[in-house]
Structure 1
Amino acid sequence: MTIETLIDEVIGREGGYSNHPADRGGETNFGITKAVARENGYAGDMRALPRATAVSIYRRLYWEQPGYGLVAQVAPTIAFELFDTAVNMGVATASGFLQRALNALNRNARDYPELKVDRAIGPRTIEALKAFRALRGPAGDKVLLKALEAMQGERYIALAESRPANEAFLYGWLANRVGLQ
């Protein structure tokens, strides 16, 4: 799988223009909110957002800037999960999930040092991921993926519990975002 394929899949799940009354993000097209489009230089009508603009935003904001390409060099399936989670929950949340999971799986820092959960991918996070994989092998990716998905699913339920309007989206979030890999 490539980042291009991931972006195509996200756009396929997100669909075209939407302005759901319960969605705090307001107008979206291809899953890109109006606020994100504006922050990235798009000033036109959201109904007319070019697909190429959405692709560029996804690549830059949700793959390159957070360092998921570096994660992909070590553990591609983990990077793909981080990308999808970041698109829906934010980069800091997705990156924090990885750091928390790595900390929980390091057997009280016997396998590699604890990470500061700063919600940003840096050299220490990459080194911890490499150490985890060296110890657990490719099978470890499945366990790490389950941990990431468990945190994602719990967060969706918490969002629905804290804001009843989010219940309109919960089924779709769980059906289309958790357990994709």
Structure 2
Amino acid sequence: MIASVIAVEGGYVNHPADPGGETNMGITKQVAVANGYVGPMRTLPRGVAESIYYARYLVAPGYAALISIDAAVTEELFDTSVNMGASRPSAWFQRSTNALCGTTLTIDGRLGPGSIAAYQSCQAKLGAAPLCVATLGILDAWQSGEYARLIGANPKLQVFQKGWIANRIGNVDRRKCATVKA
């Protein structure tokens, strides 16, 4: 999962239209510094990037607890959190669980035990694979809408739209849902 994101993110970039500024392997300078990195972004070691991805975008938002329950949805949440922060995809996960399952999760953008238990209950109700496919579709729809909103608010971001759509929407293979067990 982490290797896939690093492959999409690529190496060092300092694009003038990117509000994140300098990045390497998708890690912004601000995030690298906040995680103790003091060197130049051009030479950010892969191991440091992997550690940041694991701690900040998999464990901190609660996604690590979801891996054994639905690895495909976890991959989507992780990838989206790298691209736009964890609170958005976490809230979208909660909204999709409520919409698909009739649950009443509080939309707080934090994936905790209640959100995971509600999703597991929904797997038992709808079937793990169908829920996985539906959840991925809803998450992609929310993400597409967020890209449109971001570009509307900051037209300079239009330069990234093609890459966002090509690499971030529909990027988790739905066939992975067939391996999900309730």
Q: Choose the corresponding residue for 1:124, options 110, 114, 121.
A: 114
Q: C-alpha deviations, 1:27-51, integer Å up to 9, x for none?
A: 0011100000000000111111111
**C-alpha separation in 2, matches of 1:123 and 1:49:** 34
Are 1:37 and 2:32 counterparts?
yes
The amino acid that maps onto 1:65 is A
Structure 1 stretches lacking a partner, 5+ long: 1-5
1:1-181 counterparts in 2 under 5 A? 6-106=1-101, 109=102, 113-137=103-127, 138-181=129-172
- Which ranges of 4 or more aligned residues in structure 1 deviate by more than 2 Å? none
Structure 2 stretches lacking a partner, 5+ long: 173-182
CA RMSD, Structure 1 to Structure 2 (Å): 0.9
**C-alpha separation in 2, matches of 1:8 and 1:74:** 21
- SS where residue 74 of structure 1 aligns? coil
Report how far residue 87 of structure 1 moved.
0.4
**C-alpha separation in 2, matches of 1:7 and 1:72:** 13
**C-alpha separation in 2, matches of 1:25 and 1:58:** 16
Give the equivalent residue in structure 2 for 1:3: none
Q: C-alpha deviations, 1:139-171, integer Å up to 9, x for none?
A: 221011101111011111111111100101011
**C-alpha separation in 2, matches of 1:94 and 1:79:** 10
- SS where residue 13 of structure 2 aligns? coil
Q: TM-score, normalised by structure 1?
A: 0.92
**C-alpha separation in 2, matches of 1:30 and 1:145:** 24
The amino acid that maps onto 2:122 is F
The amino acid that maps onto 1:33 is T
- SS where residue 105 of structure 1 aligns? helix
Paired positions, count: 171
Q: TM-score, normalised by structure 2?
A: 0.91
The amino acid that maps onto 2:118 is A
State, as a whole percentage, how many aligned pairs show the same letter: 45
- SS where residue 73 of structure 1 aligns? coil
**C-alpha separation in 2, matches of 1:87 and 1:14:** 10
**C-alpha separation in 2, matches of 1:90 and 1:10:** 14
